[in-house]
Amino acid sequence: MRSSSLVARPSLYEAMNSIKNHWVSVRNHQRSFAEYTYVYPVISRRSQGLSIGVNLNPDKICNFDCVYCEVDRRSPGKAREVDPVRLQAELAELVDFVLAGGLAGQARFDEVPALIRDIKDFAFSGDGEPTMIPNFYDCVQAVVRVKEERALTSAKIVLITNAAGLDKTDVRRGLALMDEHQGEIWGKLDAGTEDYYRRVNRSPIVFERLLANLLTTAQVRPIVIQSLFLRVKGELISDAELEAYCRRLNDLARGGGRIKEVHAYTIARPTPEPWATRLSEEELNRIAEVIRRATGLEVRCFS
Ligand code: SF4
């Protein structure tokens, strides 16, 4: 389903649709490239092109245990800590490689020759929750330096987060620095009730804390809400749960939080829980339409 705002912005709609979700470069979100510990290139539909991932959790540790998590925790992580000096050096090398057209020689980027030199964003994501690390600010600073030195003025710095650590002082400093350099926060919200949150995200963190973190963060700058919808043991999210989810979004707006848009997506790659399964495009579109009607927000779907 095409939202009215997408109709009004054909260039965005076209960009999203020009990136096909069956492309190898889109399906392959492997968080490793060459010998690097922290950085990797991916073609991202949500970034509308080439995104340089910055993995702040090479230890694979997360404070959530989402049923749909695709991180393979059976093998050990590459490093226990994040070294911002090494991160900056790896990032500088990869960016120079990309800008020189180096991805053209990589089989997994064969289908996307037009996209592989244009860095849309640097994305803190990876194999765990980026806000868990003690030196988040230093890592933001490392990315800012590389971005500034290469005059990549339009490239965003995106934080993909489950919101658990957005209240930490060091993280808040990092967010403020991101704000000065095309920062954007994509905060996870998959549920409307504590029960469903515990069922899908399986975290010991109190749900209200996440909501409070999303609110205080969105009061300072507009944020993106990213929500994954799925079938759990064959069951779709219930109408009551979806209503509660929409109420949470409306509560954020009522509390003075600004939501730029909602990214509604579903499982794209194999998950360790076989009973966590993807939605069809039609099912996801139906959910997105309910959210639009209940909140008035722009909702982009990624099925
Ligand atoms: S928050 Fe992300 S990394 Fe952590 S368990 Fe969930 S999907 Fe996996």
| pLDDT at residue 36 tops 80 | yes
Atom in ligand 1 nearest the alpha carbon of residue 63: 4
How many domains is the chain partitioned into structurally? 1
Percent over 90 (pLDDT), the chain: 74
| pLDDT at residue 54 tops 90 | yes
128 lines ligand 1 (CB under 6 A): yes
Q: For the residues of 206-221, what is the DSSP string, one character each? A: -HHHHHHHHHHHHHHS
Whole-prediction pTM = 0.89
User: pLDDT: is 48 or 263 the higher one?
Assistant: 263
64 lines ligand 1 (CB under 6 A): yes
**What pLDDT, on a 0 to 100 scale, did the predictor assign at position 117?**
85
- Asked if residue 251 lies in contact with residue 243, where contact means CB atoms within 8 angstroms, the answer is no
Pairing of strands 231-232, 276-277: antiparallel
| pLDDT at residue 91 tops 50 | yes
Report, as an integer, the average pLDDT of 80-93. 95
Please give the residue range of the domain that contains residue 188.
4-302
Q: Which residue has its alpha carbon closest to ligand 1 atom 6?
A: 66
Q: Which residue has its alpha carbon closest to ligand 1 atom 2?
A: 128
Task: Calculate how far, in angstroms, residue 69's C-alpha sits from the geometric centre of ligand 1.
Answer: 5
